[in-house]
């Protein structure tokens, strides 16, 4: 183990020396800040997915109950490899957020991993804790967790996977806590249905991902700050309707940004900007297990020729900084 560690130290120290030499002639610029508002703290012990080619949902030909359905697969030259274990995932994630100057909103899927990452990069990690059904956590426990000050957002809340609406009254007590504590709430909407009916079971309901399902919730909690995750795809018109109706609703483009066809992603971003909501689109990955996901997702925004520099900065940082109130120098 010690030998491995010392080898790692050597490997890491070489680029640092090279950087030091370069910096004498030309100072290395710190990249402009980025906020990734949608990161999962998972353990690779439970991770069951293999290599993944981004934008893999470009061909869904449909099949027959007789032959069954398998998850869409795509070939690519350079597939994303899952991290081999928690140590590799942690090292890659922390290295990437430091190098690219990223602040990450990390959800408590695995408390051990979240605490570990927070310790390693305290100024770059904003912890979150979510609830998807009343069986997950009691309202008292949620209130205690959020009141502790460690968690700054309530997310990811994904009642859609339970076939429930975010306005389901059984979840109301949780959202009331977030409103009272003035903490933003991230709600999974739209995507995630691929293969759900055929492979994984039937609780997921596409209809429960419609942003219009937020209306009763927002009516009951007029000061709640909600962000619609995964752009509520494909309910773009409905999302536009809700954002027009309620100025406190923002959105993230996580998951959607690396799984659907690129033209489709750009069409949605363009549509949202065209409809006047360029200041509410927030960058996010849905990071889980694949270290390369972060840079590929940022690249999609940075290489989008139809976006101005200001629009790119809004998506990658400014909008989330405003939503999270980081631009006021504090959360809350
Ligand atoms: Zn989600």
Question: Is 24 within the bounds of a domain?
Answer: no
pLDDT tens digit sequence for 17-26: 334 444 456 6
Tell me if 41 sits within 8 A of 107, measured CB to CB.
yes
What lies within 8 Å, CB to CB, of 192 at 6+ separation is 158, 160, 161, 204, 209, 230, 255
pLDDT tens digit sequence for 113-128: 999 999 999 999 999 9
- Helices 236-245 and 262-274, interaxial angle, to 10°? 30
Question: Is 220 within the bounds of a domain?
Answer: yes
Centroid of ligand 1 to alpha carbon of 26 (angstroms): 42
Scan for tokens 């309901």, then name that residue. 205
Lowest mean pLDDT among 17-21, 88-92, 143-147: 17-21
Q: What pLDDT does residue 15 have?
A: 34
CA separation for the pair 285, 252 (Å, rounded): 9
Lowest mean pLDDT among 53-57, 125-129, 176-180: 53-57
End-to-end CA distance of the chain: 43
Question: Is 114 within the bounds of a domain?
Answer: yes
CATH number of the domain that residue 91 is part of: 3.20.20.140
Centroid of ligand 1 to alpha carbon of 230 (angstroms): 7
Count of domains for the chain: 1
Centroid of ligand 1 to alpha carbon of 21 (angstroms): 44
pLDDT tens digit sequence for 217-244: 999 999 999 999 999 999 999 999 999 9
**Host domain of residue 235:** 32-328
Question: Is 228 within the bounds of a domain?
Answer: yes
Q: What pLDDT does residue 5 have?
A: 34
- Partners of 127 in the β-ladder: 106
Query: If we measure between CA atoms, which residue out of 156, 41, 183, 189 comes closest to residue 106?
Result: 41
Query: If we measure between CA atoms, which residue out of 116, 147, 96, 15 comes closest to residue 285?
Result: 96
Q: What pLDDT does residue 72 have?
A: 67
Query: If we measure between CA atoms, which residue out of 103, 121, 204 comes closest to residue 160?
Result: 204
**What is the average pLDDT value for the chain, to the nearest integer?**
90
CA distances for 138 relative to 54, 135, 142, 149, 221, angstroms: 37, 7, 6, 18, 20
Centroid of ligand 1 to alpha carbon of 73 (angstroms): 20
Inform me whether the pLDDT recorded for 332 exceeds 90: no
Q: What pLDDT does residue 62 have?
A: 86
Please state, as a whole number, how many other Cβ atoms lie within 10 Å of the Cβ of residue 327: 12
Inform me whether the pLDDT recorded for 8 exceeds 70: no
Centroid of ligand 1 to alpha carbon of 1 (angstroms): 37
Work out the pLDDT band at 139, boundaries 50, 70, 90.
Answer: very high
Question: Is 22 within the bounds of a domain?
Answer: no
Centroid of ligand 1 to alpha carbon of 117 (angstroms): 21
Q: What pLDDT does residue 63 have?
A: 86
Centroid of ligand 1 to alpha carbon of 205 (angstroms): 13
Question: Is 175 within the bounds of a domain?
Answer: yes
Centroid of ligand 1 to alpha carbon of 188 (angstroms): 4
Q: What pLDDT does residue 59 have?
A: 86
Work out the pLDDT band at 329, boundaries 50, 70, 90.
Answer: low
Question: Is 20 within the bounds of a domain?
Answer: no
Inform me whether the pLDDT recorded for 3 exceeds 70: no
- Which whole number is the average pLDDT over 47-61? 89
Question: Is 246 within the bounds of a domain?
Answer: yes
pLDDT tens digit sequence for 151-163: 999 999 999 999 9
């Amino acid at each position: 183990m010690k030998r491995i560690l010392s080898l790692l130290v050597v490997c890491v120290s070489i680029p640092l020396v090279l950087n030091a030499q370069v910096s004498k002639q030309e100072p290395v610029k710190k990249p402009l800040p980025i906020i990734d508002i949608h990161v999962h703290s998972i353990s690779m012990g439970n991770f069951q997915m293999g290599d993944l080619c981004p934008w893999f949902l470009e061909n869904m030909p449909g099949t027959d109950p007789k032959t069954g359905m398998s998850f869409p697969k795509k070939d690519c030259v350079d597939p994303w490899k899952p991290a081999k274990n928690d140590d590799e995932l942690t090292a890659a994630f922390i290295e990437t957020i430091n190098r690219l100057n990223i602040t990450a909103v990390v959800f408590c899927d695995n408390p051990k991993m979240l605490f570990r990452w927070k310790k390693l990069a305290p100024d770059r990690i904003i912890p979150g804790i979510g609830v998807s059904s009343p069986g997950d956590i009691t309202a008292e426990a949620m209130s205690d967790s959020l009141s502790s000050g460690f968690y700054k957002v309530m997310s990811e809340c994904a009642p859609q996977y339970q076939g429930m609406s975010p306005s389901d009254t059984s979840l109301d007590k949780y959202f009331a806590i977030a409103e009272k504590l003035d903490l933003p709430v991230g709600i999974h909407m739209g995507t995630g249905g691929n293969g759900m009916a055929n492979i994984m079971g039937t609780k997921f309901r596409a209809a429960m991902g419609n942003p219009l399902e937020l209306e009763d919730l927002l009516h009951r909690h007029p000061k709640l700050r909600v962000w619609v995750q995964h752009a509520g795809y494909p309910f773009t018109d409905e999302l536009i309707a809700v954002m027009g109706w309620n100025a406190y609703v923002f959105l993230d483009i996580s998951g959607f940004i690396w799984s659907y066809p690129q033209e489709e992603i750009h069409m949605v971003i363009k549509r949202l900007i065209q409809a006047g909501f360029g200041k509410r689109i927030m960058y996010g990955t849905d990071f889980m297990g694949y270290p390369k996901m972060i840079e590929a997702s940022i690249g999609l925004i940075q290489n989008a020729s139809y976006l101005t520099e200001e629009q790119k900065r809004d998506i990658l940082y400014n909008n989330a900084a405003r939503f999270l109130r980081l631009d006021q120098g504090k959360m809350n």
